Chains A and B, each alone.
Chain A
Amino acid sequence: MRLAIRQTLSLTKRLLLALWRQPWFVAITLVQPMIWLLLFGALFKKVIDIPGYHGGSYLEFLTPGIVIMSALFSAGWNGMSLIDAIDRGVMDRFLVSPVWRGALIACGVLNVAAVIVIQSLVIVAVAFAAGASFSVLAVLMMLALAVLLGAPIAALSSALALVTRQEESLIGAVQFVVLPATFLSSGLMAANLMPGWIRDVARFNPVNWAVTAARAVASAGTDWGLVGEHAALLAAMLLLCGWLATRALRVYQRAV
């Protein structure tokens, strides 16, 4: 058990060091959420005047949505590092070692969690600078929910990478899933202003679970029951995706 933890942490350290050595990469991943936040924030400022919209400034409404959406993006790309490792032969070196198989998946998930925390903090800081305000508890809960959504998506991305072993497939899948999943949630628009069918779809959308929970903690009069329920759903999804990813590892081994 202790060895498995040590193996996981060492593998995570490898990914974090690689990230640390490419600071421009981190910068690029931050540009997009900034654009979303500031551009959408300005573009849809008048949303609050629509009858039926409840809540504070649109920026405060939007920030949890952007935090979750960015987490979704970062987690979706997680499989790229696996494909890179496969192409370089690094994956095979790990597989012929007595490393706990779960560590090979968990390291990517932990790496993504670290990225999401940093990314979310920057987004929240920019939101603050633009005039929004959240309590410390709200910020911490938003980070937790972003990680809770990112972790299963990161595991799913690993599974996809192991099965397809092609960057193109992963890029396609991420592009295909991330934006629709965001628009089919209340990430950018209040749920009661969305068309009915989108609201119905959103109920089964993990992105929406995370967004509504993050928004609930960010606003006054938090419905903790809803937050708990959505967090539990995301945790269940993490277990499922983690299991899928270790299965995918076996598929990969059978294919080589």
Chain B
Amino acid sequence: MNGSAERSRREGSAVEAEGLVKTYPKGVRALDGVGFAVEAGTVFGLLGPNGAGKSTTVKILTTLTLPDEGRALVAGHDVVREPMRVREAIGVVGQKPGIDPDATGRENLRLQGDLYGLPPRVARARADELLERFRLADAARRIVRTYSGGMQRKLDVALGLVHRPEVLFLDEPTTGLDPEARADMWEEIERLAHAEGVTVLLTTHYLEEADRLASRLAIVDRGRIVAAGTPDELKSGLRGDTLVVELAVSVNGRALDAVGRVEGVREASVDGRVLRARADEGARAVPAVLAALEAAGVPVAAATVARPSLDDVYLRHAGRTFGAAEAEDVRR
């Protein structure tokens, strides 16, 4: 395996996407010009609510489907013109577990080795190594159907690593996992990136997951990238603190007018009974905001001040809160 040597030789981007467009039958425009670059050896996060276009992006980059427009290079190869070269270089852990429930853990790993053309002896050793590493060795001979959810997810990730890929795609790797299994998975992803130099492209709709794992991220909304950068860059792009005031009644217009007049407070918005605004010094702005609301006759239930979060970044760029975007997706 010359993966690591090749990796260190090649500088720059492991993934480059440009103007990706994909429309599904019935006119659903899943992607509307997505473009980004992932530096080799880093963890890159695609963050967005369900239905934003993350999975479609991954499907195109992993050669599962073709873009209508645009161009993408993965590990230096064009996904449309050289799909086989791309496939040799990537590992994919899809949103659906790709494991075969009727086979044992070891059989799953051995088959994967065969498909990637590892010499049989190497395939056997690699299967054992991965079973050991993911603490599945005791269950190696058991039918996968009998595994717990966390164990199945681990095996799924192990399958993506059998051939030591240069670029690993993780499509919502922790969705449906309990908190303990999620923490396990986070550690494993961090280890992969730091110790093995694998480039990881991760999609997630958990803000804290993107914040913790990704060194750079792109926020996807309605098939477009609305913001990109390191989590800190994105957050510091928002000056000041976040002010969240819960109103006792929903009176949008009056509340907005009142808060808009307070000095040092900007970007006020109301969503139902929740009023959000930004302030340079949140703690100092709170009394003024509360006084203004009281004067306008808007009763207040609670008020909090917080450092900017990715949720605020999302609100700023997508024009709605993450929760609202998720809810809208459910309704669709």
Contact = CB atoms under 8 A, between A and B. Distances in A.
B98 A256 contact: no
Top-7 shortest CB links A-B: A89-B96, A93-B98, A10-B114, A98-B87, A18-B102, A89-B98, A96-B92
Contacts of A3: 117
Interface string A85-123: 000111011111111000000000000000000000000
Most buried by B among A17, A96, A254: A96
A212 B159 CA distance: 48
5 contacts: A88-B98, A88-B100, A89-B97, A97-B112, A255-B25
Interface in A18-43: 18, 21
Interface of B: 25, 59, 62-66, 84, 87-88, 90, 92, 94-103, 107, 110-112, 114-117, 143, 159
Contacts of B117: 3, 6-7, 98
A243 B247 CA distance: 65
A92 B114 contact: no
A106 to B, nearest CB: 14
B87 A96 contact: yes
A254 B65 contact: yes
A192 interface: no
A88 B101 contact: yes
Nearest to B61: A96
A14 interface: yes
A94 B102 CA distance: 16
Contacts of A254: 65-66
A99 B113 CA distance: 11
A93 B63 contact: no
A21 B98 contact: no
B274 to A, nearest CB: 38
B64 A90 contact: no
Contact of B103 (A14, A93, A253, A256): A14
Given A17-B107, A89-B97, A253 B65 contact: yes
Nearest to B89: A98
Nearest to A8: B114
Contact of B84 (A11, A13, A90, A98): A98
Most buried by A among B87, B98, B143: B98
B227 to A, nearest CB: 28
B248 to A, nearest CB: 47
B46 to A, nearest CB: 17
B87 A97 contact: yes
B59 A256 contact: yes
A11 B115 CA distance: 8
Interface residues of A, number: 25
A93 B114 contact: no
Contacts of A256: 59, 64-65
Given A18-B102, A93-B98, A96-B92, 7 more contacts: A13-B111, A21-B102, A88-B98, A88-B99, A89-B94, A89-B95, A253-B66
Given A10-B115, A253-B65, A256-B64, A98 B88 contact: yes
Interface string A170-186: 00000000000000000
A10 B111 CA distance: 6
B98 A18 contact: no
A96 B110 CA distance: 17
B98 A6 contact: no
B99 to A, nearest CB: 7
Given A7-B114, A97-B115, A98-B87, A253 B96 contact: no
Contact of B115 (A17, A88, A92, A98): A98
Nearest to B102: A18
Most buried by B among A10, A18, A93: A93
A117 B160 CA distance: 36
Contact of A6 (B94, B96, B114): B114
Nearest to A250: B66
B52 to A, nearest CB: 18
A23 to B, nearest CB: 13
B111 A14 contact: yes
Contacts of A7: 114-115, 117
Contacts of B65: 253-254, 256
Given A3-B117, A21-B102, A92 B96 contact: yes
Contacts of B92: 92-93, 96
B163 to A, nearest CB: 8
